Copies of this chain bind each other. A is one copy, B any other.
Amino acid sequence: MQRNSPHVVIVGGGFAGLAAARALRKAPVRVTLVDRRNHHVFQPLLYQVATAGLSAPDIAAPIRHILRGQANTAVLLAEVAGVDTAGRRLLLGEPAGSTLAYDALIVASGATHSYFGRDDWAPFAPGLKTLEDALEIRRRLLLAFERAESEPDEATRQAWLTFAVVGAGATGVELAGTLAELARHTLRREFRHIDPARARVVLLEAAPRVLPPYPESLSAHARRQLTALGVEVSTGAKVTHVDAEKVVLEGGAELRTRTVLWGAGVAASPLGRALGVPTDRAGRVQVAADLSIPGHPEVFVAGDLARFEQDGAPVPGVAPAANQMGAAAARNVRLLLEGRPTTPFRYRDKGSLATIGRKAAVADFGRFKLWGLPAWLAWLFIHVFFLIGFRNRAVVMMDWALSYLTYQRHARLILDR
């Protein structure tokens, strides 16, 4: 609070960055949270924005609004261009050449999807990491049905009505299941020349089963639920080529489609490499037991950008892990500034949940597992509960109830880019 209190800078307003800021609420430090966007996004519900069930503001809130009551904290909208760890300062993108000095730094700039070195596929197969991504996917999905409606050629019409989702992790499964619902129910009776229910939704996964990190029994349940929703699930299907008109699989099989969604791969934020310490293949920073980086006890990494191994496996890139890491990094910043030894981070796995569609989800709470309606209800209530803001919780609950009863999805807008 004092002008000369130590300055803690946090990069990123995702789950990890916000958790870190909140944990420093009462600390005798000045905090600056830097993000290149003005809003925090509740990423687990991004697929609902992409499939027109929710609008962007329903799942996002301005970071400075979230932290408005925290007097020791300032929020700065800026792009971080690099880190001068020796000089203890961030290099900011704008105004060019400006810097931000810190006494302690928490980097939580996250990760995005990766095209495994085939970035030329990106224009044809958008991924889902930001609100802009979600709105672009929404635009493409809705436009595909419109193009099909006015397309005279039968083969081209069928290509517009074919949707490929690459990767059957949580994002891919959610997108495929909800898209099948959109086609089969929401759009029913709205077109005159096509039957949207005839749309094909093809989920392509290179691994032998969907939701690879889950126990095999839940993968099997997920596959059954996807099939029941009308998704064609293709496992062991490795994509070797993507362009504006098709996806090609290893072995040569071709899928004629005008709409490909990307739900595969992880690429850490480039800030990880800018720290000048070892990273893994995806660019995640190998952190020490206390989440600091080698040679710089005052720099911590948290969330999806951190690679932290526990019991022989990396901690997964999920919201609860990011929350825990952010809070732990902040705790260690306080200990460090007080001259006390930092404490090791320990991830407490509270279980995994993935939703698939209407009344369809899987949940792995270790000792007990859920699927179908019970898993879906658990998923729904946990996710609505963690949304930020009373208004958003109320609206999202209402939209869920309305959409459950009527199959309607209210955000079906095609906006120009």
Contact = CB atoms under 8 A, between A and B. Distances in A.
B65 A412 contact: yes
A299 to B, nearest CB: 23
A132 B337 CA distance: 48
Task: Sort chain A's interface into a size bin.
Answer: 35 or more
A392 interface: yes
Q: How many copies does the complex hold?
A: 2
11 contacts: A39-B412, A39-B413, A56-B415, A57-B412, A68-B189, A68-B190, A75-B190, A77-B146, A132-B415, A395-B395, A417-B417
Interface string A359-376: 000000000000000000
* Most chain B C-beta atoms within 10 Å of own C-beta, residue among A61, A408, A415: A415
A74 interface: yes
B39 A414 contact: yes
A80 B169 CA distance: 42
A142 interface: yes
Nearest to A68: B190
Interface of A: 37-39, 55-58, 60-62, 64-65, 68-69, 74-78, 131-132, 135, 142-143, 146, 149-150, 189-193, 389, 391-392, 394-395, 398-399, 402, 408, 410-417
Given A55-B55, A74-B192, 19 more contacts: A39-B412, A39-B414, A55-B58, A56-B413, A57-B410, A57-B411, A61-B412, A62-B142, A62-B190, A62-B412, A65-B190, A74-B193, A78-B150, A389-B410, A391-B398, A391-B402, A392-B410, A394-B398, A395-B395
A150 B190 contact: no
